[in-house]
Amino acid sequence: MMTQRPSRQRCEQCGHEIDELDAAGSCPRCGGLLELEHDFPDDAPALKARFAARRSAMVGPDHSGVWRYRELVLPSIEPSAVVSHPEGNTPLLGRSAVATWAGVERLLMKHEGHNPTGSFKDRGMTVAMTQARRTGARAVACASTGNTSASLAAYAALAGLPALVFVPAGKVALGKVAQTIAYGARTLLVRGNFDDCLTLAREASAALGIHLLNSVNPFRLEGQKTIVFELLEQLDWDPPDWIALPAGNLGNTSAFGKALREAHAVGLIARAPRIAAIQASGAAPFAASFRGGFAERIRVDPDTIATAIRIGAPASWDRAVRAITETNGIVTSVSDAEILEAKAIVDAAGVGCEPASAASIAGVRQLRADGTIDRDARVVAILTGHVLKDPGAVVSYHQETEPPPAHANRPIEIDARVSEVERVLASAGR
Ligand code: F0G
């Protein structure tokens, strides 16, 4: 494989540049967030052909839905240095029950729960872990609402690096804690929320020389860009009108903005879709700021059933503002009740997702209802995590909530007799 000259890490605040292989993590001059700047090939048709040719690979980096796009992710990487499960290659699903509920016929769902640890985090983690090992990391760490920690744990195991995770005690969905422990990360249950965890993880990493792999790490965003590249390729590079995604710490919103900017600059697409970033109303500082024209950076005390996005002080704020502004995007919020109803619809379609993911579907429905999204618009909503991430939310909705919600599917306990089965079938009208 051809490798190119190394990229630069550029500070978003002061413009200071450091080498691609510098493991500083943030700007050494002003502490600002860093962003990767690559030299791109200028032949879009050749690039598309190369991406397409790699799809037939059965093994190795070409088989990964992240590294297949490596010219746009980390052009200088040697294939032998890649830490990959692999990841990506997630499906784009159309389900009429979901489209009808949302009121948008041409709605597709990009299901990132099909990644190896069940969330989109694996796309960023393969790049950040590759970079951590490449720059000599002795240990890696992250703060997390659960998915990043599960992903970090799995990729650290693959890379053979010790992993330390900081998660909010009592506020992480069961599947995610289970994964993190099972994959072997040292798991710290912090008495505080995600924002407290991130502050602590940043301080501890700086003090102890551990590589921090949160989405403040610019290499994470490079990997997460491939959600957009892959969905565009699945649509034969004919961009949808909208891409809707759940927004918490705003890493993914930022990554999507960068992906669209670059796909357009390279000539892969002729126009950029609009981004719709959807927050949970109990954790919606970005939506509140959007309503005020982004005049203020807002911080809230977060609370929502969608624990993945239970974040009050998002770290990737400025770059997410840029993503929304550049794509003429929208930020809005949906209630926990709307999230749970959207999740019940997605789940009952046999697709399934975790609560935070359903925010994107609830958001599409809201934006269709208020006329922001046209009835015949082409919309891709990102399902960020797998239904099994949060079994507690399923049990609570279907089995425990009183009175039962509209879409509750109560299991029925019976004696082991055919007559009992008959009785149940009769009462179900079948
Ligand atoms: N959906 C899921 C399932 C998530 O886990 C997250 C973030 C988001 C959406 C929001 O993405 O933070 O980039 O705006 N989870 C992080 C974590 C915070 O620690 O796993 P974002």
Cβ atoms of 283 and 312 within 8 Å: the answer is yes
Q: With a cut of 60, say whether residue 351 has pLDDT above it.
A: yes
Tell me how far CA of residue 169 lies from CA of 24, 118, 164, in angstroms.
29, 21, 15
DSSP 313: S
Q: For residues 322 and 299, what is the distance between their CA atoms, to the nearest angstrom?
A: 18
Instruction: Tell me if 113 CB under 6 Å of ligand 1.
Output: no
Instruction: Tell me if 250 CB under 6 Å of ligand 1.
Output: yes
- For a mutational test of ligand 1's pocket, the pick from 252, 305, 339, i.e. the residue with the most ligand atoms closer than 8 A to its C-beta, is 252
- For a mutational test of ligand 1's pocket, the pick from 109, 114, 117, 119, i.e. the residue with the most ligand atoms closer than 8 A to its C-beta, is 119
Instruction: Tell me if 215 CB under 6 Å of ligand 1.
Output: yes
Instruction: Tell me if 309 CB under 6 Å of ligand 1.
Output: yes
Single out the residue of 163, 214, 165, 166 nearest to residue 192, CA to CA.
166
Instruction: Tell me if 385 CB under 6 Å of ligand 1.
Output: yes
Global pTM value = 0.97
Q: For residues 231 and 243, what is the distance between their CA atoms, to the nearest angstrom?
A: 10
Mean pLDDT taken over the chain:
96
Instruction: Tell me if 307 CB under 6 Å of ligand 1.
Output: no
126-146 pLDDT tens trace: 999 999 999 999 999 999 999
Angle at 338 between CA 334 and CA 343, to 5 degrees: 115
The total of other beta-carbon atoms located within 10 Å of residue 374's CB is: 14
Angle at 37 between CA 26 and CA 260, to 5 degrees: 110
- For a mutational test of ligand 1's pocket, the pick from 155, 254, 309, i.e. the residue with the most ligand atoms closer than 8 A to its C-beta, is 309
Instruction: Tell me if 146 CB under 6 Å of ligand 1.
Output: yes
74-89 pLDDT tens trace: 999 999 999 999 999 9
Give residue 167 CA to ligand 1 midpoint distance, Å: 13
Q: With a cut of 60, say whether residue 3 has pLDDT above it.
A: no
Instruction: Tell me if 180 CB under 6 Å of ligand 1.
Output: no
358-398 pLDDT tens trace: 999 999 999 999 999 999 999 999 999 999 999 999 999 99
Q: Which residues 6+ apart lie within 8 Å of 115 measured at CB?
A: 87, 88, 90, 121, 122, 123
Instruction: Tell me if 254 CB under 6 Å of ligand 1.
Output: no
